[in-house]
Each structure stands twice: as structure tokens, then as C-alpha cells.
């Protein structure tokens, strides 16, 4: 029991120190929301641009500000335009281009 007492005290003090919700606690949630909103901004640009709007198959994901574009298009110009639009969206740090050209 005497050996366990300091450990218990340390655990209580640790809990006391972390009991409050600090601004840092909400950071992962804020990061996830920002990533989802960055992806939405890119989708909005792709969906309203005349070049990329006819290609809803281009999927957009974002993690830590890095946007990944996936899917297939039939023209190189569409792929280039999609990447260009994604780079222009607010909050995008980098664009990972995984769009493939599937010629029919």
C-alpha cells in the first residue's frame, strides 16, 4: 500500500492538470473539420467549373491540408484543370494527383 500511494497521488495530480478542456484539446477536431471543409471547397470548384463539372467521378479527400484527387477522366486537359482548381482552393497545402486517363 505504501508503494502504491505515490503512484495514486501522481495519477490524481495528473488528472487535475489535464481535467480542463484546453484549446489544444479541440485541435484534432478542428483539424478534421478544416480538412473536410477544404475538400468541400475543392468539390465546389470542381462542380462549378465548365471543364470539370461533367466529371463527378473525381473524388476529393483531404488530410492535414493535403488534397488527394482520385478517379478517371478521358482527357489530360481535365486532369490538369482539376489539379489547378484544387491548388487554388483556400487551405490547400499540397495536391496529390491520382487521376488516371481512361481513353474509351
Residues at the site binding other proteins, with contacts judged by CB under 8 A:
12-13, 15-23, 26, 29-30, 32-34, 36-37, 39-41, 43-44, 46-48, 50, 53-54, 56-57, 59
Residue 97: CB minimum distance to other proteins, A: 18
Residue 22: CB minimum distance to other proteins, A: 7
Q: How far apart are CA 104 and CA 95, in angstroms?
A: 26
Closer to other proteins at the Cβ: 3 or 17? 17
Closer to other proteins at the Cβ: 1 or 17? 17
**Contact 69/97 with Cβ under 8 angstroms?**
yes
Q: How far apart are CA 82 and CA 92, in angstroms?
A: 13
Q: How far apart are CA 59 and CA 3, in angstroms?
A: 57
Q: Maximum distance among all alpha carbons in the chain?
A: 77
Residue 40: CB minimum distance to other proteins, A: 4
Q: How far apart are CA 65 and CA 76, in angstroms?
A: 25
Residue 26: CB minimum distance to other proteins, A: 4
Amino acid at each position: 500500500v505504501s508503494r502504491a500511494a505515490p503512484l495514486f497521488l501522481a495519477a490524481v495530480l495528473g488528472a487535475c492538470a489535464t481535467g480542463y478542456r484546453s484549446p489544444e484539446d479541440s485541435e484534432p477536431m478542428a483539424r478534421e473539420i478544416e480538412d473536410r471543409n477544404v475538400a468541400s471547397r475543392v468539390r465546389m470548384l470542381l462542380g462549378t467549373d465548365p471543364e470539370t463539372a461533367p466529371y463527378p467521378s473525381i473524388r476529393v479527400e483531404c488530410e492535414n491540408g493535403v488534397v488527394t484527387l482520385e478517379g478517371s477522366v478521358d482527357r489530360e486537359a481535365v486532369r490538369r484543370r482539376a489539379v489547378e482548381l484544387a491548388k487554388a482552393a483556400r487551405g490547400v497545402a499540397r495536391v496529390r494527383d491520382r487521376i488516371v486517363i481512361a481513353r474509351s
